[in-house]
Every structure is written in structure tokens, then in C-alpha cells.
Structure 1
């Protein structure tokens, strides 16, 4: 077979039946897809797999010796069972075959092979029922080779591929071998000068080394080179997109002397922190450019990101433009409105007319809001997804601010951006700290600013783990502590993972590595328990969750902010942005069911005023479990950037990049943002150097083709929208 390429469909190479099976099992469709289905590990003919460590209920592929074979007739029905025992020298595993006596001629004691199947449990012993296998030749059948060749053959690494119950590792190896035999030498997308400086293998050599290694050094070098190539392609695509954004024409937005920004700054009752001043200067410089700003501001909980965004909005208003702030929830949108009005003061608020637009506004209010927006009276607009509707038009949209952008897909952000006559400037805010390499990988086409410094006057937060697995009676002390805080005139939150026993917060997904048999703490049950508690029965306790209407949620939050509610029992609807300075206590029930960043966000709802914060993380997770590690990590530090790194290390790698965020960039093959930070940083520098001299890749057609193949049209569109 000749003439195949990386983009060739597998049906013409392997046959329709095999190609369909591969597509169904792994989603691979082309030659390139199959070659990127890399081995997950390597075995040797001379090494055995530890049988004692096999996971029950999972498909495994192991190397072992046949030690015993016996055939017996079944007692209850007609037929026979062939029982084969395999061993790694210490543990033993049973293989069972029904009515297949002939396999005893193949599976002879003393032979070694690869065995694949699902690990089951039969009467306390692990077994593989009807496994597939491939035996190594014994000495008599092995190829007649010279001693050196025989040694090399016995020690050559055997690729073990991610497999399924229907497609074994050796099935995959056979398919890969057919493809590699037919594939002509491939051009290298990474320029020779870059590759040589790093001593990397060519793409062709690397892809063959990982699938056909003679020694361990082959696949190790191959994986290293392919990992770098993956980082290089990704960073090249992101930097190209960044350059394309900068090529768009935007209207500069600069403040005028004595204008809105000057008046806002003069009215502030406090000094901006150093970080706020630095980031503010970066944003001001971006807004003055003739290309759109595309900046991500990440900051600690309570670090003052909203004020930084408000100063940018005032600068845009000085130039005659409008700004829009897109918030993820109606509760947060309403709070942003109150916070912005308070910061502006009565005179500026009357002139800039901050306007709220959400999905559940009464019809008359909605009409008034839409008229103010389209007429340009509303210089600042705050809202939710309702802002994306066709009925919403702006007189002169100059700035789009997206708060907690991880809750919005690229399509939604782009819809809002397209409402400007010219491309508006874009400012993305997040209180979820992002490690540098993730920011580079997910948001590599954005400039990144950080606000770490907290405003003066914050009293800090003490965090404690209430470990019910070790001390089940400590739950009573949790409610005593809450009552003590309330007795000092303070308020508290109690957060639960679920609304009731059957329903979690809409759009929320809980961590899965917890005991499924353990009941989930719910808002509706907890509020009843607290209202009956002797220490809390006289307190005003209310609920807040996603099943309530927007009007009910807003009314409840206003009452809590005004001090008319003592304890708010809520779901994560209060996770982001809710600001009640008198709230001192945060109790999180079933804390192990939340992620690290969620717990950090929830804790940030207290300790926001002159009152010290107390966070009690209640968990029944066992010591040393991953679920317990998450909770312990949050209690150990208030530094969100440290926690972001911990979160990254605790999570499965595939969870790091979500496709709704990355527009197709979640399909990392070998690159790991946790462990490959240096590779990502170096690849970005190398890609930037190349693009500086060849921005359109006219002199690097192999790189341009690799990018085209790696990023299809939908991925490129998503990159552009991001």
C-alpha cells in the first residue's frame, strides 16, 4: 500500500470493519489519529506484571507465566470449564474458558504471554473470564538468532496501548504496524533550527520510536520530542490568534481631564492597592491602543477586581462609549449593580446610569432598560445571559467585561462582542487563580494580569477541617461556634452540595471520588434541622438556591445584606461575588464534594469587612483519601495561587482543560500542563521568535499544514471567539 498521509481515513488502510471498531472505541478516524493513540506503558518479554495490584472491575493487560492448566466437567449443566492459573511469581490469577478444551494445547505451563480482560471476583479470588491473550514463543519456537540478537529481542519494550474489551493492545499494535509500514517519511512541523537547538528527534523518527522502540531510550526520546512538538503547535496557534486580534481595528478609549474616571478616583474613600494601580495602568494602556484589548485579570477573592473593571468602564464612558458587565448569575448581577452604584456615588451614578438586564425582569422594567441601552443613556450595563439576545442593541459598545468567564462558552462571549460597531475591548475577570502554564495553554491568546494584594482592613480568615470520620461528635461544636458568632451580632452562611436529597444546584457537578452510599447534605433538610436546634431556633434562618425565582433570590440577598437574616443556608449560588461585610462564618457541609477552587471561593464570602472570618469545612471523608486531601489543602493556606497548583496536581489531567473554554484545546495527547511547565514556556518563546519573522508561516509549510490538521475550522473559530 502506498500514498497514505496523516489525514488518510483508516477505512482505506485497515479495512472498514477495523476502522469502524477503532472509531467507536477511541474516536480515531485518520492515520494521524491512530498514531497519536500512544502506548500508555511498555512491557518486556522478560518482565512480569504485579498481579496483586490489579484493580477489580477494570480492563487490564498484563504479562504473566502460565503455571497450571486443568479441565473439569460442570456439575449443574452440560459442558466443561478450562481453568488456567497464571502468575507473576508471587500472586496468582485464574483464567476461565467455558467449553474450550482445545485451549489447553496452547496454554501450556511454562509459557509466558500477554493476557487481557476485565478483572472479576469469583469466590474471593480474582479472575479473568474468557480473556484474550498472545503468547510469546518458547525457546524451541523463538527465532534462531545470535546471542546478541536474542538478547535484544527478549529485552525490546512491548508497547501496551489503552485498550477496550473488544480491541486489545495487540490488535492496536497490529494496526499501527500496518500504518507505519505504509506511511512514507513525514516532514517535520518544527523547524530544523529549533529542533537542533533542543536535540529533539524529527517528527518521523519520534513517531516510529514510540511505536517501535528497540530500547527504552527510543520511546523516551520519542515521547519527549512529540511532547515538545505538541506544545510548539499549540503555542503557535495561540500566538497567531493573538496577532490576528491585534490586527483588528478598535476605537481608542482614553479618559479626559476632569472626566468620569478622575471624579471616581477622587471620590474613593481609600487608596488603591499597588496591584490595583499596576493592573489599572496595564488596562489603560490597552484601551488607548487602536486594536482591541484582550486581557485576563485574575485575582484573589476580595482583591478588588470589580473596582479595577469599574475604572476601565469610567474611562470608556469618558470617550462616549458604553460598557457591559456579563455576570454568571442573577444574584451576582444584582450585587454588581448595587456595588457599582455605591462606588460611583449618587452624582456619577445618575450620569452614567448603571442599568440591570436579566432574564426575569418584569416586562415594563425590561423595556425601560432596553431603551436606555440602545439610546446610549446607560453607559454601564450589567446583566446575565439575557444580554446576548437579539433585542439588545448598544449605541456605542466600547468594553465587554466578563466576570468569572469559565461559566460562559466561547459562543456566548462572541455574541456579546459582536454587538459593537467596531470590535470592543474585552476584559475577563476571574477569582479562580490559574497556574501560569494553564493560563498559557487555555488563555494563551490573552494578556494576563494578576492582583494578589488584598485591600487594607481585611481581618483575615481562619479555616478548620471538621473531620467527622475521626470525630463524629464535632458536628455539635460547629453549631455552637456558629451560635457564638451570631451572639456577637454577626451573620453566617451554611453551604450544602444539594438543594434536596435528589437535586443538586442546576448546572453544578459534584466531585465523584466520594463514598456514593453517604447521603448528600441538602439545603432543605439542613434548614429544618437548624430551625429546630436549641441554640439557633430563635434565629432568622432562610434558604437560597437555584430553584428559587430571580425575584426571590434577590429579595433574600437584599435581606441578608441588610442584616434581616442571621443565617443563610445555600447552595453554591453564593460561591462567587456575594459581598456581605458583616458575615463572619462560613460552614461548608460535605466539603469533600466540592473542588479546591470552589471551597476557596466559598471561604472568600466571609472576612470581607472589619470582622474576622471563620471557615469550618465539615467532611466525612477518610484520612488520606483524595477527597480529604482537597479539604485539608484549602484549610492549610489562604493563597489561591498555591491552591490552584494543588488543585491541578490532585485532579485528573483530562479535567484541566474544558472544551467549552478552550475551543477544542482540551485534547492534549502527551503534553501535561502540571508537569511540563518548562516545555510550554520554552515552546511559547520559540514560537514567538519564529512568528516574528514569518507571521503567516509562508516559509514553513509543514508547520502550517500541521496546524491546519490539528485545528479544524470549528477549533479555529472557537480560538477566534475566545
Structure 2
């Protein structure tokens, strides 16, 4: 019960971006900044069990665990695989080959799954005031248990000459009815989560609607100076916008913000490991380029390009640092990468060391030997 209380108490923490669209590039005014609520993240609020959410009992918690959702934080990181418009179409307005979302009622008897080749198929007649059609699900046999006569369904799929192929579906509750999805009305930009046999997409969405109010408690992985310089939103705001964006611009900005942090932290980890390796195994310190390198540069039938000279300078900086050099040189075919490699080899030879040039094919090795 203590965990439930913690969740309820933290719902007052609202994202700073609630005053304006998430993707807005407009700078905050002094008045807006002074009026913005102060918040102190509590990461422990995200480590509580998914059962802290209202309506999540042992059975649903077990189903969530099987789907990889143990805590509130796990739920927040289960981002929708896509978002769709909730603009409904009358069934009769769809043309053959057209994709759309329709609100229909099950008209036929409760179906039974059947096998055809390697497919498990569930089919049932559905309709609205504008028409009727046979709706078909592939490889989702558990759907049949939900298709009681009179059940209201929100279906997204494609109409063909053989019927309506269902890509996504929700069981919609009638007024005052519990146990199905929410009302059809609401946000016009709806997240679509990956479903399991025990967890319908709308169930995960309902949980996410509660969990995103705790997103401001997420630990910020980016330095404040970097966020300010690149005008990046707080990670909690980005998580909320990734689940429930108000527009496609919000969704794109949220994904970019989260991807930037992921790549930044990955690069920071690699840099830390590289620094540790260098500190544990120092390399020799080379002097400045000598006569052999100078004579070789003079012998070239062309002047090195600005990019090649920049690569020479970076190699020189590494060789005098006393730390092992590990570099990857990238360039288009014919851009002069081999010249840069030979420069590094000559620097090693001048310092009394050996160097080897390896080629991926025998033909290329012969070409290097001849030139």
C-alpha cells in the first residue's frame, strides 16, 4: 500500500512543457520561467512494481512480467511501435484496397479459429450503420474468445475483395461497461503498443497514461550545459511526448531527444573505456616529423589536401601524447586515405619502430607493393 501512495503523491509533478507544444523552439519568457513549477526528481518512484498502478492485480502483473514489464520504469520504456490517427470512417465509405479505422459491432456467432496451410485464421461478420463485412485476423487465435455477438470493436486494417484484414484492434466498452478499452472519443493521435495474448494494446496504453505522470522522476542523463546549448527538453518530458504526442512534430522531437541521449551515453562509455585502456598501457612518445617524412611529402606528385593535412595533424597529436593511438580513417574511394596511412607508417619508422600495411585482397596488396 505504501507504493500505491507514492504513485498517487507524485502525480502532481507535471512536465514543464505542458504550457506549450513539446517541439516548440520558442524561448521561454522570464514570466514563464518564474511561473514554472520546481520539481525534484525521485527515481525511486519509478522502481516500484507495476502493481502500484490502480487496477493492476496479481494476474495482470504476471502477464506484464511475461511481457518484460516489472516496474513503472519498464512500462515507460515500452514505447509504442507507432501512432495512428483515431479519425473514424464509416465502413461503407472505404474503397477496395483502402486502409482505415472503423467502429463496428460483431454480428455473427462467436467464431472458432481454423488452420489453413501455416496460418491460424479467425473470421467474423462485423458491421455498422453503413455496411457489413467479414473481418479476418491472422495468427491471433486468442482473439476468438473476445468476439462475442454484439461486442463493439475498433478495427484498423485494409479492405479487400475478400473482406477486412485486421492489423490492429481494440475491444471498446459501452457506456458504463468495464473490462474493455476506453471510449472512442479522446486524443486523435493514439499510441499503438505491441500486444501479447494476455495484454491488449489498449491495456498497456491505459497504464502508460498513468505512468507518464511519473516520468519527471526519470534521472537526467545529459549535462545541463549540453541540454541548454542544444535546446534539448528534459528526459521526462521527452518520454511523455514519445508516448502521447500532441502532433507528429512532438513525436519526432521526442524520439530525436531520446535517441541523442542514448547515443551520447554510449559514446561517453566508449570514451571512458578508451581513456582507461590508455592510462593502463601508456604508449611511446614520438617527436616531431623528421627529414624522412619531409622528403616523402616533397616527393609526392601532388599537394596534400586540407583534409589530409588535418588528418596528419591529428595523428601527430596522438603520437606525441604518450597514449596508444586507435583511429579509424573514413573517406570516399580515391580521396587519399592510403597517403594518410603511409604518413603514419613513416612517423613510426622515423621513431625507430616498425609498421605494416595490410590489405583485404591479394590484388590490392600487389597494387600497394608496386606503388
Report the TM-score when normalising by structure 1: 0.34
In structure 1, distance between residues paired with 2:369 and 2:195 = 58
Residue number in structure 2 paired with 1:308: 340
Question: Over residues 386-420 of structure 1, what are the superposed CA-to-partner deviations in whole Å (9 max), with x where a residue is unaligned?
Answer: xxxxxxxxxxxxxxxxxxxxxxxxxxxxxxxxxxx
* C-alpha deviation, 1:169, in angstroms: 1.7
Residue number in structure 2 paired with 1:208: 240
Q: Does 1:114 align with 2:145?
A: no
CA pair 255-207 structure 1, distance change in 2 beyond 3 A: closer
In structure 2, distance between residues paired with 1:282 and 1:189 = 30
CA pair 250-223 structure 1, distance change in 2 beyond 3 A: same
- SS of the residue corresponding to residue 335 of structure 2 reads coil
In structure 2, distance between residues paired with 1:326 and 1:238 = 28
- SS of the residue corresponding to residue 158 of structure 1 reads strand
Q: Does 1:22 align with 2:67?
A: yes
In structure 2, distance between residues paired with 1:160 and 1:200 = 25
| Structure 1 unaligned blocks of 5 or more | 56-61, 75-80, 108-112, 144-150, 344-722
Residue number in structure 2 paired with 1:298: 330
Indicate which of 65, 69, 74 corresponds to 2:103: 65
Contact 1:82 1:104 in 2 (8 A): no
* C-alpha deviation, 1:277, in angstroms: 4.2
Q: Does 1:317 align with 2:359?
A: no
Q: Does 1:251 align with 2:284?
A: yes
* C-alpha deviation, 1:313, in angstroms: 0.7
* C-alpha deviation, 1:156, in angstroms: 5.4
Indicate which of 228, 231, 234 corresponds to 2:263: 234
| Structure 2 unaligned blocks of 5 or more | 7-43, 113-121
Residue number in structure 1 paired with 2:73: 32
CA pair 154-29 structure 1, distance change in 2 beyond 3 A: closer
Contact 1:120 1:126 in 2 (8 A): yes
Q: Does 1:338 align with 2:344?
A: no
Residue number in structure 1 paired with 2:171: 134
Contact 1:252 1:288 in 2 (8 A): yes
Q: Does 1:125 align with 2:162?
A: yes
Q: Relative contact order (C-alpha < 8 Å, sep 6+): which is higher?
A: 2
Contact 1:205 1:222 in 2 (8 A): no
CA pair 51-22 structure 1, distance change in 2 beyond 3 A: farther
Count, aligned residues = 301
CA pair 159-125 structure 1, distance change in 2 beyond 3 A: same
CA pair 166-317 structure 1, distance change in 2 beyond 3 A: farther
Indicate which of 98, 105, 125 corresponds to 2:150: 105
Aligned pairs for 1:84-95 (under 5 A) are 84-86=125-127, 94-95=135-136
Contact 1:40 1:162 in 2 (8 A): yes
Contact 2:286 2:320 in 1 (8 A): yes
CA pair 220-142 structure 1, distance change in 2 beyond 3 A: farther
Deviates more, 1:46-55 or 1:231-240: 46-55
Residue number in structure 1 paired with 2:190: 158
CA pair 69-88 structure 1, distance change in 2 beyond 3 A: closer
Contact 1:186 1:204 in 2 (8 A): yes
Contact 2:97 2:159 in 1 (8 A): no
Residue number in structure 1 paired with 2:302: 271
- SS of the residue corresponding to residue 316 of structure 2 reads helix
Contact 2:45 2:217 in 1 (8 A): no
In structure 1, distance between residues paired with 2:218 and 2:144 = 49
CA pair 41-319 structure 1, distance change in 2 beyond 3 A: same
Contact 1:161 1:173 in 2 (8 A): yes
* C-alpha deviation, 1:69, in angstroms: 2.3
Question: Over residues 663-706 of structure 1, what are the superposed CA-to-partner deviations in whole Å (9 max), with x where a residue is unaligned?
Answer: xxxxxxxxxxxxxxxxxxxxxxxxxxxxxxxxxxxxxxxxxxxx
Contact 1:95 1:130 in 2 (8 A): no
Contact 2:156 2:167 in 1 (8 A): no
* C-alpha deviation, 1:319, in angstroms: 0.7
- SS of the residue corresponding to residue 311 of structure 1 reads helix
Contact 2:125 2:135 in 1 (8 A): yes
CA pair 21-292 structure 1, distance change in 2 beyond 3 A: same
Contact 2:107 2:149 in 1 (8 A): yes
- SS of the residue corresponding to residue 251 of structure 1 reads coil
* C-alpha deviation, 1:336, in angstroms: 4.9
In structure 1, distance between residues paired with 2:270 and 2:226 = 21
Report the TM-score when normalising by structure 2: 0.58
Contact 1:43 1:63 in 2 (8 A): no
- SS of the residue corresponding to residue 85 of structure 1 reads strand
* C-alpha deviation, 1:64, in angstroms: 0.9
Question: Over residues 254-281 of structure 1, what are the superposed CA-to-partner deviations in whole Å (9 max), with x where a residue is unaligned?
Answer: 466443x35544655x224424444334
The alignment's C-alpha RMSD in Å is 5.0
CA pair 210-152 structure 1, distance change in 2 beyond 3 A: farther
